[in-house]
Amino acid sequence: MTPKEMIENLLASMTKFGASDLHMKVGYAPYYRVTGQLRPVELPAIESTQYMEEMFRELVPAARRDEYTKRGDLDFSLRGASGDRYRVNVFRACNEMHAAIRRVQSEIPSFESLHLPPVYEKTMSLTHSGLILISGVTGSGKSSTLAAMLEHINQTRACHIITIEDPVEFTYKPQKAIISQREIGIDIPNYGEALRYVVRQDPDVIFIGEMRDRETMLAAIQSAETGHLVMGSIHCSDAAQTFARILEFFSHEEHDFIRSSLSSSLSAIMCQRLLPCIDENARVPATEVLLNNSTVRDKIRRGEDEDMPAIIANSAEEGMRSFTRSLAELIENEKIYYDTAMEYAPSREALASAVKGIKTSAQGLVGRMRK
C-alpha cells in the first residue's frame, strides 16, 4: 500500500469506526481512540520516517511546509473525502515524525446531541457581551461545545462573528450571522497578531480557539470589557482551577488588576468532563457551570476562589450546577453507572448523599458495577 493510500484509508475509516483520534508513530501500528480508549489498527507497523513523511507530504498546506523542518512541530487542518475535517499535529520525537489527528465531524452538533443541560442554550440566548470560558482537560469535548454555541448564535442573531483558530475545525454556513474564520499560520501568523486588530474588524462575537498565554487572555478580557461577546477554551478541570490558571499568565503585581477586570467582564465558566456511558459506544458530559452574579463578582475581586464550589452548589435556582449534581442526574437518567460516577466525583461522600434522594428506576443502577 502506498503512503498516500495508507493515510486516505486511515482517515476514511475513522468515521466508520467512530474514532475521535488517530495516532501514528514510527515503529508502531496506527492506533485509533474510540470512546476514550486507544485501540491498535490491524495493520503492520509504520516502518520509517520517510514513509511517514510521504504520507503527509501533500496534506500539509504549501505555505507551511518549512515550519515542521524549522520547529519540529506543526498544526494544520484538512478536509477528507467524507466531508469530515481533521485537526492534525505532526511532531518530531527522537528525530522521527509522529502524528496525532483529531476527527471533527462535518455536522455541527446541537446542545441536545451533546447532552448538555439547558443552561448552556439559555446562557447563549441571554448573553450578548462578556467572557464565556469553556474549561476542561484535553479530549473533554470543549471544541464541540463551542461549535454548538457559535451555531446557536449564527442561527439566532444578525451579527458579525470572527473566529481565530489553530487550526480551523468546524466550518459554518452563514444563517443570520456573517462569519469570518481565520486560521493561525495561513490567514494570520499568530494569536497575538490576530487579536491586535480584531476590534477594528467590527466584530460582535469573537471566538478564540484556545486561551494559552498572557497576550491572548488579556486581549480576551479587554475585548469583553468593551462590549463584545468573547468565547474560548482553557485547559482546566473545574471553575476554581480556571481562575488560578488565568492568573498564572500574569505577574503577581498584575493580579489585582486582572481580578478587577474579570469580576466585571466574566459571564460564565462552563467546565466539562466526558464519561463512559452505559452504552459502551458513547460518552456523556458531566458539567459544572459558574455564572457571574454579585456574590461571584465580590469573590473574584477578593481572591476567594476557594468559595466558588459552595456558591455553585447553592445556586441551582440561578442555573449554576456542580459536578456532583451533574453526576447524580446522569445516574438518575440511566446514562452512567454508579461506580463510574464515583470515579469522577469531586467528593464521593457528597455524591453518595445526592444519590440517596433519587427515587426513580435508576436506583437499580446504584451500586451496580460495570461488567
Q: Is 282 exposed, middle or buried (0-12, 13-18, 19+ CB in 10 A)?
A: middle
Indicate if 310 and 184 belong to the same structural domain. Answer: yes
pLDDT at 78: 87
pLDDT at 358: 65
Is 251 among the domain residues? yes
Indicate if 17 and 162 belong to the same structural domain. Answer: no
Indicate if 190 and 86 belong to the same structural domain. Answer: no
Tens-digit pLDDT profile for residues 189-247: 889 899 988 999 999 999 999 998 999 999 999 999 999 999 999 999 999 999 999 99
Indicate if 74 and 125 belong to the same structural domain. Answer: no
Per-residue pLDDT for 83 more than 80?
A: no
Tens-digit pLDDT profile for residues 271-311: 999 999 998 778 999 999 999 999 999 999 999 999 999 99
Domain span at 88: 3-104
Cβ-based neighbours of 64, under 8 Å, separated by 6 or more: 74, 76, 185, 186
Which of 49, 78, 104 delimits the end of a domain? 104
Tens-digit pLDDT profile for residues 322-349: 999 999 999 999 999 999 999 999 999 9
Tens-digit pLDDT profile for residues 110-125: 999 999 999 999 999 9
Q: How far is CA 296 from CA 14, 240, 252, 287, 299, in A?
A: 43, 11, 21, 18, 5
pLDDT at 369: 44
Q: Please, which pLDDT band fits residue 61 given cuts at 50, 70 and 90?
A: confident
Model pTM above 0.75: yes
325: its cell numbers: 449534581
Mean pLDDT of the region 173-198: 92
Per-residue pLDDT for 107 more than 70?
A: yes
Indicate if 90 and 138 belong to the same structural domain. Answer: no
Tens-digit pLDDT profile for residues 243-279: 999 999 999 999 999 999 999 999 999 999 999 999 8
CATH number where 62 lies: 3.30.450.90
DSSP 368: P
Indicate if 126 and 163 belong to the same structural domain. Answer: yes
HSE toward the beta carbon, residue 229, CA cutoff 13 A: 19
Is 159 among the domain residues? yes
CA distance 234 to 59: 28
Residue among 190, 197, 192 at smallest CA distance from 216: 192
Indicate if 182 and 235 belong to the same structural domain. Answer: yes
